[in-house]
Amino acid sequence: MKVRSGWVTFAGVMIFIVGVLNAFDGLVAITQARYFERNITDGLPITNNVKNWGWGALIIGILLILVSLGIFSGATWARVIGIVLVGINLLFQFAYLTHEPFWSLTMIAIDIIVIFALAGASGQDDYTETYSTS
Tens of pLDDT, residue by residue over 5-16, are 688 889 999 999
Closest by CA to 79, choosing from 2, 9, 1, is 9
| Contact indicator for 102, 84 with CB cutoff of 8 Å | no
117 vs 37, higher pLDDT: 117
pLDDT at 119 over 60: yes
Asked if residues 61 and 88 have their Cβ atoms less than 8 Å apart, the reply is: no
Question: Which band of pLDDT confidence, cut at 50, 70 and 90, is reported for residue 41?
Answer: low
Q: What mean pLDDT, rounded, does the chain reach? A: 81
Burial label, 42 (beta-carbon count in 10 A; 0-12, 13-18, 19+): exposed
- Find out whether 124 and 15 touch, Cβ atoms under 8 Å: no
Look at residue 21 and tell me whether its pLDDT is greater than 70. Answer: yes
Q: Which of 38-47, 89-98, 102-111 has the lowest mean pLDDT?
A: 38-47
Between 122 and 88, residue with greater pLDDT: 88
CA dist., res. 106 & res. 96, Å (int):
12
Lowest mean pLDDT among 3-7, 32-36, 72-76, 128-132: 128-132
pLDDT tens digits for range 69-96: 999 988 889 999 999 999 999 998 888 7
Residue 61: name the closest of 44, 77, 85, 45 by CA.
85
